[in-house]
Chain A
Amino acid sequence: MADVELVGISKAFGPVEACKDVDLRIEDGEFVTLLGPSGCGKTTTLNIIAGLEEATSGEVRIGGRLVNELGPFERDVAMVFQNYALYPHMSVAENIGFTLRLRKRPKSEIAERVSAVAETLELSQLLERLPRELSGGQQQRVALGRALIREPAVFLFDEPFSNLDATLRVRMRGEIKELHQRLGVTSIFVTHDQEEAMSISDRVAIMRLGRVEQVGTPEEVYARPTSTYVARFVGSPQMDILQGRFERTDGENRYRVGEAAFVVPDGAVAAAAGREVDLGIRPEHIQLGAGGTPLMIRVVQPLGPMTYVTTAWDEGGLTARLPGMTAHQPGQVVPVSLAAENVLLFDRESGRRIEWRASHG
């Protein structure tokens, strides 16, 4: 058990900077996800923590100890790889026990610990099989077992579910979360799937072009994203971000985007302080049929527990998430309004969010 601290980590591959000045502190026992699109530097960051890549500059501390010069094994980390990286010529038992064999533990101890781990992961019946004789989910469990048997201070996961089908992915997600709750080992998880990150983590670090854009609990990054980048990356369907301007008509503040105009609170206008701002709104905060600007429905997507209704006009579009199944039809014109207190403002130039509730609300 240990905390992990990255201080000013940078990594360059020739002219390409994969990580730029990454600062991140992961508390003992915490489950943190590095989230971002491919090429954002998340896997490189994980490899630097693991000791598989050397940072160009910066410090990695695990349990307070500077580990820059140590190999992966001495860092006391275990890693689960994207394609599982099981040794194809070894049986399940040999794969799981390989690390103990390298440490020259007695055969009886290896057998005992392998069978204990196998039991935890429901692999007991498969110990003699070769990796190629296993299903994707079983291979995934073996990879997990290989990490578990180490009883490491830190678990590292590099997109471990990306090769699994959707159903299995959701199940494995639950299993890893449960395992973490049970063992409480510090875990760092890399994924490009925001839903996976949100569902599994204590905190999420969203990365962009080698930098950490925002670190926060799933609730924080969802409700209070620091930038349009985070706002768009987290949440499905995406947050709608409109490009318009404030105006005052009929004694009310509105945000006008072409023919559409949405009522906004005074505080928001005050916070913008004359700057050009974009307006962001989550799908669940868009209201249909309760007054507002009339817009035409383009697409209706019923999903069972909820329905996505997309309205669009020349200068913008909004996708609302409505509970249950609804009677909306494409082509229908409905009044649309925004839940004003949940409107987010972003500086158009920098893309940073402008806080308006706290100081002006």
Chain B
Amino acid sequence: MALLAFMVLGLGPVAWGVITSLTPTTALTQTPPDLSLSNFSLDNYVDVLVTRGNLPDALLDSAIVATLTATLSLVLGSVAAYALSRLRVPGSNKILLAVLATQMFPGIVIAIPLFIVFSQLRLVDTYVALAVTNLSFTLVVVIWIMKGFFDAIPPQLERAAAVDGATTLQTFRMVVLPISLPALFASGVFAFIESWNEFFFAIILTRVDIKTAPIAIAEFSGQYQTLYGEMLAAAVLASTPVIVLAIIFRRFIVKGFVEGAVKG
């Protein structure tokens, strides 16, 4: 029963969105709206993808920013986490808490300073500005997940590799990284999705050259009318890649989060 309620709550809006995206805007805006199956068409999809044609570019921009964010998060986050887990860093617990504390600021507080910084650096409206900004919240989570995971790897494994004749780099590459794949996938997918969905900083830090999917979707809501059909068609299209990603890596993600949680 609870499960049913949960499914209605969770999937209801998604179903509503999909139905809306398949219904022409004229049928949606009449009173009462006509949601009958006979109206269903792919016109809205054709519109956002071909006729109006602004979505493909937005999806590409989103993909670039999200990939950049995920890659940088993984590279920086896993190295930082490895150092925090393995090296005797003085005050490493305080560093970890400080990292977490950066999340206490609401985005709105840093939005304007951030804009000023990026405009001074002439980085407004670039992929780098968005990726670096997204990094500020994805990196934290990646560091925490990976640190928990590395802590759970017995240090004897690295010692055994050293005795077997592996250099530090070989140990990291041939022993630590392969074991850490689930956690890397989990945190990588997490960073990708966070970045993909990010709206607030994207609308502040981009203008013309770059437009990520959430911004493009929002633009269907204009001053005089809102193109609900097109908007939802774009939303469905924008959601698909992350849903597919989550399904493909589902097993890894669960494993990664669970194993990272063994010793937090």
In the assembly, what is the distance between CA of A89 and CA of B174, in Å? 10
Interface stretch of the complex, out of A73-81, A225-233, A262-270: A73-81
Query: In the complex, are the beta carbons of A146 and B156 less than 8 A apart?
Result: no
Chain A residues lying within 8 Å of B246, measured Cβ to Cβ, are none
Q: Is A330 in the interface zone, CB < 8 Å from B? A: no
Q: Is A98 in the interface zone, CB < 8 Å from B? A: yes
Query: In the complex, are the beta carbons of B163 and A72 less than 8 A apart?
Result: yes
Most A CB atoms within 10 A — which of B157, B163, B179?
B163
Q: Contacts A81-B159, A85-B154, A85-B160 hold; do A102 and B165 have CB atoms under 8 A apart?
A: yes
Q: Contacts A82-B156, A83-B154 hold; do A89 and B163 have CB atoms under 8 A apart?
A: no
For B175, give the chain A residue with the smallest CB separation: A87
Query: In the complex, are the beta carbons of B165 and A88 less than 8 A apart?
Result: no
Query: In the complex, are the beta carbons of B156 and A73 less than 8 A apart?
Result: no
For B158, give the chain A residue with the smallest CB separation: A85
Query: In the complex, are the beta carbons of B165 and A99 less than 8 A apart?
Result: yes
- B87 → chain A closest CB, angstroms: 15
Q: Is B170 in the interface zone, CB < 8 Å from A? A: yes
For B159, give the chain A residue with the smallest CB separation: A52
Query: In the complex, are the beta carbons of B162 and A72 less than 8 A apart?
Result: yes
Q: Is B209 in the interface zone, CB < 8 Å from A? A: no
In residues 71-122 of chain A, which contact B (Cβ within 8 Å)?
71-73, 77-79, 81-83, 85-89, 98-99, 102-103
A52 touches which one: B157, B163, B166 (CB < 8 A)? B163
Query: In the complex, are the beta carbons of B159 and A73 less than 8 A apart?
Result: no
Chain A residues lying within 8 Å of B174, measured Cβ to Cβ, are 98
Query: In the complex, are the beta carbons of B160 and A79 less than 8 A apart?
Result: yes
Query: In the complex, are the beta carbons of A50 and B157 less than 8 A apart?
Result: no
Interface residues on A, range: 20 to 34
For B180, give the chain A residue with the smallest CB separation: A89
Query: In the complex, are the beta carbons of B160 and A81 less than 8 A apart?
Result: yes
* Total chain B interface residues with beta-carbon distance under 8 A: 16
Query: In the complex, are the beta carbons of A85 and B156 less than 8 A apart?
Result: yes
In residues 154-208 of chain B, which contact A (Cβ within 8 Å)?
154, 156-157, 159-166, 170, 174-175, 178-179
If over half of B's interface residues share one DSSP class (helix, strand or loop), that class is named, otherwise mixed; here it is: helix
For B165, give the chain A residue with the smallest CB separation: A73
Chain B residues lying within 8 Å of A83, measured Cβ to Cβ, are 154, 156
- B182 → chain A closest CB, angstroms: 11
- A167 → chain B closest CB, angstroms: 25
For B178, give the chain A residue with the smallest CB separation: A89
Chain B residues lying within 8 Å of A81, measured Cβ to Cβ, are 156, 159-160
- B209 → chain A closest CB, angstroms: 43
Query: In the complex, are the beta carbons of B164 and A77 less than 8 A apart?
Result: no
Chain A residues lying within 8 Å of B175, measured Cβ to Cβ, are 87
Chain B residues lying within 8 Å of A52, measured Cβ to Cβ, are 159, 162-163
Chain B residues lying within 8 Å of A89, measured Cβ to Cβ, are 178-179
Q: Contacts A85-B154, A87-B157, A102-B170 hold; do A78 and B163 have CB atoms under 8 A apart?
A: yes
- A53 → chain B closest CB, angstroms: 10
Query: In the complex, are the beta carbons of A88 and B179 less than 8 A apart?
Result: yes
Query: In the complex, are the beta carbons of B157 and A85 less than 8 A apart?
Result: yes
Query: In the complex, are the beta carbons of B162 and A146 less than 8 A apart?
Result: no
Chain A residues lying within 8 Å of B157, measured Cβ to Cβ, are 85, 87
- B191 → chain A closest CB, angstroms: 23
Query: In the complex, are the beta carbons of B178 and A146 less than 8 A apart?
Result: no
In residues 7-48 of chain A, which contact B (Cβ within 8 Å)?
none
Chain A residues lying within 8 Å of B178, measured Cβ to Cβ, are 89
In the assembly, what is the distance between CA of A72 and CA of B160, in Å? 9
Query: In the complex, are the beta carbons of A79 and B163 less than 8 A apart?
Result: yes
In the assembly, what is the distance between CA of A50 and CA of B165, in Å? 12
Kindly supply a per-residue 1/0 record for chain A positions 122-144, scoring 1 wherever the CB is within 8 Å of any chain B CB and 0 otherwise. Answer: 00000000000000000000000
Query: In the complex, are the beta carbons of A102 and B164 less than 8 A apart?
Result: yes
In the assembly, what is the distance between CA of A87 and CA of B154, in Å? 10
Q: Contacts A85-B157, A89-B178, A89-B179 hold; do A103 and B163 have CB atoms under 8 A apart?
A: no
For A101, give the chain B residue with the smallest CB separation: B174
In the assembly, what is the distance between CA of A77 and CA of B164, in Å? 9
5 A-B pairs with C-beta separation under 8 A: A50-B159, A81-B159, A85-B156, A102-B165, A146-B164
Given contact pairs A52-B159, A146-B160, enumerate 8 new A-B contacts (beta carbons under 8 Å).
Answer: A51-B162, A72-B159, A72-B162, A73-B163, A79-B163, A99-B165, A102-B166, A146-B164
